[in-house]
A and B are shown apart, each in its own frame.
Chain A
Amino acid sequence: MKKTYEIEVDCANCASKMETAAKKTAGVKDAVVNFMTQKMIVEFEDGQDKDEVMERVLEACKKVESDCEIYL
């Protein structure tokens, strides 16, 4: 399942840092961060609770880029 989230991130490099962090998060099959449209598209693994996974994604992103924001 795929879901799109609005995000706020300042620089293109930080966006790719977020993408890498999100991809590595448990429960995430794939993640794409689009800097231009300020969107994060997350594909979840089957049988995962997406809200729970997104909590982890947000935490992981905050670690690599403390300024970023994901609007859950």
Chain B
Amino acid sequence: MIQELIIDGLLVVVIIACLILFKIASDNMTKKQKKNLKRIFIATVILLLVQTLGVKVFAYFGDNRWLRLSVYLLIYYIIGSDIVYKAYKGIKNGQVFDENFLMVVASLGALLLAIIQNGDYMEAIAVMLFYQVGEWFQSYAVGRSRKNITELMDIRPDYANIEVDGKITKVDPDEVKIGDTIIVKPGEKVPLDGIVIEGHSALDTAALTGESLPRDVKVDDEIISGCINMTGLLKIKTTKLFGESTVSKILDLVENASSRKSKSEDFIAKFARFYTPIVCYAALALAIIPPVFLYFSGNDPEVYTWIYRALSFLVASCPCALVISIPLSFFAGIGGASKEGILIKGSNFLETLSKTDTVVFDKTGTLTKGVFEVVAIHHNKKAKEELLYYAASAESASSHPISKSILKAYGKDIDTSKVKDIEEISGEGVKALVDGKVVLAGNDKLMKRFGIEYKDCHSIGTIVHIAIDEIYEGHIVIADIEKPNAKKAIEALKEAHVQKTVMLTGDKEKVANLVASDLKIDEYYSELLPQDKVSKVEALLDEEKGGKLAFVGDGINDAPVLSRADIGIAMGAMGSDAAIEAADIVLMDDDPLKIAKAIKISKKCLRIVYQNIVFSIFIKIMTLILVALGFANMWLAVFADVGVMILAVLNAIRCLFVSKL
């Protein structure tokens, strides 16, 4: 009696849930989901009517058992026809042992038992009904979370506004050639990489980098495709074809991801391949062996009881929870990471990343900005600005990175008519006539050459000494400066349980020491040639005991190292094809904090995977034992199966939410 009340209550809950879902969520459903929800709804309503009024109605017709059977068969047909069809197709195509097969055998078996005994058909129907409810829920939840991700990754531009002879036409981005002028209006996506030739605006780069702060662009700035133009009209001269533009590269990465399967996924796929046939045979054994044994030992064989137990065993054994939730966890983890500007090329890399205990950095471009900047001006008598003015003027014709950084620090335009007789002395510096004065700007060799007494500098970096009319006026210190987040990034790695951080650099010992001690990096190796970096990483790989080694580089010159490490992480590498190719993980912007974030995401994802594996297998085995011993009936088996699946799927979807890590 109590069980019947519970069953009726459950049916009412399903009906109400269906109604609510129809009301609030029908826009978010696919056609198939709508159709299946209707089927569940209709079947449940009929079932409830039969349950509550059935007894009287059937009594009115003289308790005809065939009438009763045909009503239940109708319900079974409504709710289970597609599963039966799928199982049939599976058998026909040689894919016998799958979930559909398990469910069909169990429910049809229970139905047959009920027919023979003229008993309760409810259980057979319930198996199908609740299996369908579980499937529907799973499909809906997955669909919603998938939409969540794809909407955010929706960076593919649909068209480009091209300007030809002052007229604007919409064309396919594929048709735009290099050097064409395109127009991007506010609210539109930038379709191709290029350089701004007119207008200024703020760009929303969130879809590319995960960075929510808009970026300002003006004339002559480079602009990458996939950003959304927010405020002003921009005219852009394209520098790349659509196929080579950033947006295509990213889409290619995202869409090609997860072709490489992780060990856990492989395990589950293999597990399912063996598991399903094994439980089928176990169920068969459960139906045959005990009755035979009982019969020969002179007891009542209780054939029906054992068949019933075997059928319940089949229901309980369904591996859906594992088979569905494990790949889903990885998909969600990779999706969630890409929302944060971290592109992971496959679920195996996510898995390896979670085991990382050593992170090796290439200094330049990852921990430091990789561009030289004036960090100090030590002047004598002349004012700082004046010193900088002379230095900048003398260096104005040079394209050397050092000269460029001095010009950048000066910041104003140089009147080149005032600069004459520029003479570059290779490896030493320049000599030039500025405002009629002889200016020498260069290293100590240059000073020695002209016999000028200079002061050594205690600062670390490149020193440019300046002499004006043979009088020493001071020096400018130029250095590659640390990224603002570099220190935090190393701390965050420690928090993420990375045991060891190592820095490799081609730079001088003094510079390396300063950066490493400032950032609290455990080990550093300096004055390395590119090939030395490979051998250093190989040596570090040999030292690894169980953990994994990740190498982080900016993609310039370090493609071989990226591919040699367990995990290669390329930073801000949207420009470098070699790096994207060689790396396993690509960070879309160059913030080193993202490395720790990627590791945290991978750990969370793998934790969820293990939770699901352990939890599902544990519950499965428990119910299988209970069922085999006769402590649990088919109802419990259904709920164990559907319940575990729903919980595992919900848990897997948590992998999506990684923004707060």
Contact = CB atoms under 8 A, between A and B. Distances in A.
Query: Are A and B a genuine interacting pair, yes or no?
Result: yes
Which of A13, A19, A39 has the largest number of chain B CB atoms within 10 A? A13
Interface string A13-34: 1011001000000000000101
A59 B1 CA distance: 50
Interface stretch (B12-20, B138-146, B190-198): B138-146
B3 interface: no
A64 B95 contact: yes
A13 B256 contact: no
Which of A12, A36, A39, A63 has the largest number of chain B CB atoms within 10 A? A36
Contacts of A48: none
Interface in B291-346: 323-324, 327-328, 331-332, 334-335
B256 A37 contact: no
Contact of B255 (A10, A15, A37): A37
Contacts of A63: 89, 93, 95
A35 B138 contact: no
B636 interface: no
Contacts of A41: 255-256
Contact of A36 (B85, B89, B324, B335): B335
A67 B99 CA distance: 14
Nearest to B94: A63
B95 to A, nearest CB: 6
Given A11-B139, A12-B324, A34 B258 contact: yes
Interface residues of B, number: 32
The B contact surface, by secondary structure, is helix
A10 B328 CA distance: 11
Nearest to A64: B95
A13 B149 CA distance: 19
A12 B653 CA distance: 12
Contacts of A4: 255
Contacts, number: 65
B269 interface: yes
B576 interface: no
Contact of B327 (A12, A32, A66, A67): A12
B86 A66 contact: yes
Contacts of B328: 11-12
Contact of B150 (A11, A13, A37): A37
B139 A10 contact: yes
Nearest to A15: B327
Given A34-B256, A35-B331, A64-B93, A10 B153 contact: no
Nearest to B145: A36
B335 A32 contact: no
A64 B89 CA distance: 9
A32 B85 CA distance: 28
Given A11-B324, A12-B324, A36 B259 contact: no
A66 B257 CA distance: 25
Contacts of A12: 142, 324, 327-328, 331
A45 B269 CA distance: 27
B150 A36 contact: yes
B254 interface: yes
Contacts of A34: 254-258
Interface string A34-72: 111111010000000000000000000001101100000
Contacts of A64: 93, 95
Given A35-B146, A63-B93, A64-B93, A13 B327 contact: yes
A71 to B, nearest CB: 14
Contacts of B142: 10-12
Contacts of B143: 10
A45 B139 CA distance: 34
Contacts of A39: 255
B139 A36 contact: no
B456 to A, nearest CB: 59
B323 A13 contact: yes
B32 interface: yes
Which of A15, A34, A67 has the largest number of chain B CB atoms within 10 A? A34
Contacts of B89: 63, 66
A13 B324 contact: yes
The A contact surface, by secondary structure, is mixed
A23 to B, nearest CB: 10
A13 B269 CA distance: 9
B347 to A, nearest CB: 10
A4 B243 CA distance: 14
Interface string B128-162: 00000000001100110010011001000000000
A34 to B, nearest CB: 5
B211 to A, nearest CB: 22
Contacts of B256: 32, 34, 41
A8 B89 CA distance: 19
Nearest to A17: B95
A11 B138 contact: yes
Nearest to A39: B255
B415 to A, nearest CB: 54
Contact of B146 (A16, A32, A38): A38
Given A11-B324, A66-B89, A36 B138 contact: no
Interface string B552-581: 000000000000000000000000000000
A11 B265 CA distance: 14
Contacts of A16: 261, 265, 269, 327
A32 B331 contact: no
Which of A8, A41, A66, A67 has the largest number of chain B CB atoms within 10 A? A66
A22 to B, nearest CB: 11
B149 A36 contact: yes
Nearest to A40: B255
A16 B347 CA distance: 13
Contact of B153 (A11, A15, A37, A67): A37
A42 to B, nearest CB: 12
Q: Which 8 pairs across A and B sit closest by C-beta, in order of nearness?
A: A12-B327, A32-B259, A63-B93, A12-B328, A13-B323, A10-B139, A36-B331, A36-B335
Given A15-B327, A36-B146, A36-B149, 18 more contacts: A11-B328, A12-B142, A12-B331, A13-B327, A16-B327, A32-B256, A34-B254, A34-B255, A34-B256, A34-B257, A35-B146, A35-B331, A36-B334, A37-B153, A37-B255, A41-B256, A63-B89, A63-B95
26 contacts: A4-B255, A8-B30, A10-B139, A11-B139, A11-B142, A11-B324, A11-B328, A12-B142, A12-B327, A12-B328, A12-B331, A13-B327, A16-B327, A19-B259, A32-B258, A34-B256, A35-B258, A35-B327, A36-B334, A37-B153, A38-B150, A41-B256, A63-B95, A66-B85, A66-B89, A67-B86
